[in-house]
Structure 1
Amino acid sequence: MTTSRILLRTASLDDLDRITDLHTQARTAYYQAGGFSEPELTSPEARSRRREMWMRALENDTTTVLCAASGGEAVGILAMGPPLDPDVDAATAGQLYQIHVRPGSWGQGIGSRLHAAFVQGLRDASLTTGVLEAWERNSRAHAFYTRHGWKPDGHHRPGPADANYVRMRLELSPSA
């Protein structure tokens, strides 16, 4: 699969179950890679909570949810919107809530396409800063974001398996 065959489009409620399943697969893969393999990752209750979270995101006017699709199959998702932490200035920053790529599609440029859409969303909104949180044991995500210019900003909060979520920032250079 090449990224030229990947269509990025705004997600709809029709995508809800595909998004929830993709999120579950990606989340399970990175938590297990970080040494956290609780049954909670794939339980029906956890899936139901994720589905509700995605439904709220899809129905929220301040959240943008994009699907990356190939051949009609969802292979990646992105959610972004205003910052969640009160110490982040919403007049200058937007938050990347989530990027997930189906584990079998990792390394094919899908995450980079979604990331580029996030950066374009910041620019379109005249924002200069992006923020996100990544679980500290998700080394794959940290390497991805570092390659794209993100840096930890010193803020963290507790996460599963005695590992924190680390907040990172991306400062955009002025566009030409």
Structure 2
Amino acid sequence: MLSIRWATVEDAAGVAAVHVNAWRVAYAGLIDQAVLDRQSVEARTQMWRNSITRSQLGEAPDGYGDVAHRLLVAELDGEILGWASFGGGRDDDRRELGELAGLYVDPTSWTHGVGHALIERAQQELAAAGWTEAYLWVLDGNARAIRFYERHGWRADGGEKFGEGGSVDGLHELRYVRPL
């Protein structure tokens, strides 16, 4: 049975594998292939170890300014199939909102309810933390993700950002919002 639980440091490698696998499939044709090929489970594991540790301490992960976020994982038979990261809004003009910072499911588990279970729980946790509205950013052209978010009540609000993507320059992202 699929379980949704808080991530532990021991989950870092599984979270990283999902992250890299999902990027390579979901962003093929949307992000330069050389960038996708350079994605490393080992490097992402280190990043996630740090992020999960800081999250457990109530601290902001690297690159999140002063905004703490939490991480949920979806697990089945000891295998991490997906994850969702969320907390307060990181964007200066969105500090009063919650943010779904990331939701990734391993491509082998797409259409099996993993993403649904993760987004439902993340939305519940955001509401329980007192947020009445949340936002997320989705890569322009990622039709699969856009359909997924829209099925879960998220709507584009016209917000866009360009060129912000950490290690990936030139991204064009669209902002989606929803009441909680």
Structure 2-normalised TM-score? 0.83
- Secondary structure of the residue aligned to 2:136 is strand
Shift in Å at residue 52 of structure 1? 4.2
Determine the structure 2 residue equivalent to 1:65: 71
Is residue 2:11 matched to residue 1:15?
yes
Unaligned runs of 5+ in 2: 59-67
Aligned length: 164
Q: Structure 1's 127 and 161: CA in aligned 2 closer, same or farther, altered over 3 A?
A: closer
Is residue 2:34 matched to residue 1:39?
yes
Determine the structure 1 residue equivalent to 2:173: 165
- Secondary structure of the residue aligned to 1:99 is strand
Determine the structure 1 residue equivalent to 2:112: 108
Unaligned runs of 5+ in 1: none
Determine the structure 2 residue equivalent to 1:27: 23
Is residue 2:142 matched to residue 1:138?
yes
Shift in Å at residue 39 of structure 1? 2.2
- Mapped partners of 2:90, 2:123: distance in 1: 18
Percentage of matched positions with identical amino acids: 29
Q: Structure 1's 125 and 161: CA in aligned 2 closer, same or farther, altered over 3 A?
A: closer
RMSD between superposed Cα atoms in Å: 1.9
* Aligned partners of 1:24 and 1:42 also within 8 Å: no
- Mapped partners of 1:53, 1:132: distance in 2: 21
Q: Structure 1's 40 and 71: CA in aligned 2 closer, same or farther, altered over 3 A?
A: same
Farther-moved stretch of structure 1 (158-167 vs 12-21):
158-167
Question: Residue type matched to 1:19 in 2?
Answer: V
Shift in Å at residue 76 of structure 1? 0.8
Per-residue Cα deviation, 1:79-100 (whole angstroms, up to 9, x for no partner)? 111111111133xx21101111
Shift in Å at residue 51 of structure 1? 3.4
